[in-house]
Amino acid sequence: MHEMSIAAAVVDQVAEAAAVRGATAVAVVRLDVGELAGVVPEALDFCFGLASQGTVLQGAALEARRVLARARCGPCAVEWAPGIPPDLGCPRCSGGARVELLAGRELRIRGVDWAEGPAGATG
């Protein structure tokens, strides 16, 4: 399950940022997760809870915002939602290999709410 490695990486990055700013606890971690990133949100949430145990993120909430996939045809510039599995054939002109995936592969930390006091406390 690659969600565990993703959760561990998120915990490591946020814990590093917490150390730099002298934060003792994290209330919320916000992620952008593209629908084509191959991540199961429920599994990621579960793994985040496990990976955060014993860290400044223990008890923090994970808020994953789903980013819908978007594609654009190079020749005719039409944009569409390619769906899952992605259909990267232009619905207007069949532009072939000149289709650009604009969104949907994201997996990034969008923001962190720092907590005051003991780990898991909000403030």
The domain defined by 1-68+104-123 folds into hypothetical protein PF0899 fold (3.30.2320)
Helix, strand or coil, per DSSP, at residue 10: helix
Sequence letter at residue 105: R
**Range with the lowest mean pLDDT among 5-9, 93-97, 110-114?**
93-97
Q: What is the mean pLDDT of residues 46-65?
A: 97
Q: Are strands 99-103 and 70-73 parallel, antiparallel or unpaired?
A: antiparallel
Whether pLDDT at 119 is above 50? no
Q: What is the mean pLDDT of residues 15-28?
A: 96
Q: Is residue 71 exposed (0-12), middle (13-18) or buried (19+ Cβ within 10 Å)?
A: buried
Q: What is the mean pLDDT of residues 18-24?
A: 95
Residue 104 has a pLDDT of 95
Q: How many CB atoms lie within 10 A of CB 17?
A: 15
**Domain locations in the chain?**
1-68+104-123, 69-103
